[in-house]
């Protein structure tokens, strides 16, 4: 196994771990479609970054953070449901991104390309993953309390609005980290599918989080190996591997 493949597997494992762990909270909060839609918001940021010669991860992160603050602010100050607001941001961003992204780079932006991941990207993924796990661990109890009952959380002096904003920003970070690896169309799947798979098999909250993380890592690693062996795009290979785990979990759950 060559050093480049080991590097890509490590990067993929980090992205998979962070995606699966964050996704476990997203499924509990019944916000699965939010994660998928947010990934599309990254496209205009990638387009601008490619145009000016900047790192696409940074461009995606800027676009995602702006969209996250917009969704959070409007959901607190309007009567429109957050899911509907995400839908508006999603369609607008996808349309703008398709218009701005240079045609030679469009396919890569949509579906990812592991061969374009540099050492700098790897360092950014490592730093981002550490930040995601650290911050999520710090707010996890308050986040789960809000899942059980927002009224109960408020009675315990928990600022649910602030916690939701921090959580959405973490999702924005993990989506930005995954765009070069999976592309904007498929990154959201890695936040959703491993967590849904884990939910079918777990018997406790702790095992649910651990299984979500584990399925995220396994999907990324096996997907990259399949992509390399069969000469296919990494994004679809990783997502299809994750979906295969989900289908298998359904039969194991029945047994």
> All domains of the chain, ordered by start, with CATH?
3-254 (1.10.3470.10)
Is the confidence at residue 218, as pLDDT, over 90?
yes
38 in Cβ contact with 64 (< 8 Å): yes
Give mean pLDDT, residues 161-167.
85
Dihedral sign, Cα of residue 80, residue 82, residue 85, residue 87: negative
Give mean pLDDT, residues 187-213.
89
Left if phi > 0, otherwise alpha if psi is -120 to 50, otherwise beta: which for 233? beta
Per-residue confidence band for 187, with pLDDT thresholds at 50, 70 and 90: confident
Share of the chain above pLDDT 90, in %: 23
Provide the pLDDT for residue 75. 67
CA distance 217 to 107: 25
Provide the pLDDT for residue 135. 93
Give mean pLDDT, residues 190-203.
90
CA distance 27 to 19: 12
Question: For 227-242, what is each residue's pLDDT tens digit?
Answer: 888 888 888 889 999 9
Per-residue confidence band for 220, with pLDDT thresholds at 50, 70 and 90: very high
Angle 119-65-32 (CA atoms, 0-180°, nearest 5)?
Answer: 95
Name the pTM for this structure.
Answer: 0.86
Q: Tell me the CA distances in angstroms from 208 to 79, 83, 195, one per residue in order.
A: 33, 25, 8
Token pair of 201 as six digits = 């098999």
Give mean pLDDT, residues 167-190.
84
Question: For 69-102, what is each residue's pLDDT tens digit?
Answer: 877 777 666 666 666 666 676 777 777 777 777 7
Per-residue confidence band for 109, with pLDDT thresholds at 50, 70 and 90: confident
Give mean pLDDT, residues 142-171.
80
Is the confidence at residue 205, as pLDDT, over 90?
no
Of 188-192, 198-202, 223-227, minimum mean pLDDT range = 188-192
Using CB atoms within 10 Å of the CB of residue 169, give its burial: 0 to 12 exposed, 13 to 18 middle, 19+ buried: middle
């Amino acid at each position: 196994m060559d050093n480049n493949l080991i590097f890509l597997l490590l990067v993929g494992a980090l992205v998979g771990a962070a995606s699966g762990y964050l996704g476990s909270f997203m499924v509990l909060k019944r916000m699965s479609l939010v994660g998928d839609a947010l990934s599309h918001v990254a496209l205009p940021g990638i387009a601008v970054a490619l145009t000016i010669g900047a790192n696409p991860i940074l461009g995606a992160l800027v676009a995602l953070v702006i969209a996250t603050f917009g969704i959070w602010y409007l959901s607190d100050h309007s009567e429109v449901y957050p899911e509907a607001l995400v839908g508006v941001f999603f369609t607008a961003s996808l349309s703008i991104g398709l218009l701005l992204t240079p045609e030679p780079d469009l396919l890569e932006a949509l579906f990812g390309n592991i061969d374009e991941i540099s050492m700098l990207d790897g360092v950014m993924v490592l730093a981002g993953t550490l930040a995601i796990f650290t911050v999520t661990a710090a707010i996890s109890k308050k986040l789960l309390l809000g899942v059980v009952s927002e009224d109960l959380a408020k009675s315990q002096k928990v600022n649910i609005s602030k916690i939701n904003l921090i959580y959405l920003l973490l999702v924005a970070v993990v989506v930005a980290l995954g765009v070069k690896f999976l592309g904007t169309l498929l990154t959201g799947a890695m936040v959703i599918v491993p967590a849904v798979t884990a939910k079918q098999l777990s018997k406790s909250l702790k095992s649910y989080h651990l299984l979500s993380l584990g399925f995220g890592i396994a999907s990324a690693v096996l997907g990259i190996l399949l992509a390399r062996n069969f000469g296919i795009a990494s994004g679809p290979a990783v997502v299809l591997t994750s979906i295969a785990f989900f289908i298998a979990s359904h039969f194991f759950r029945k047994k």
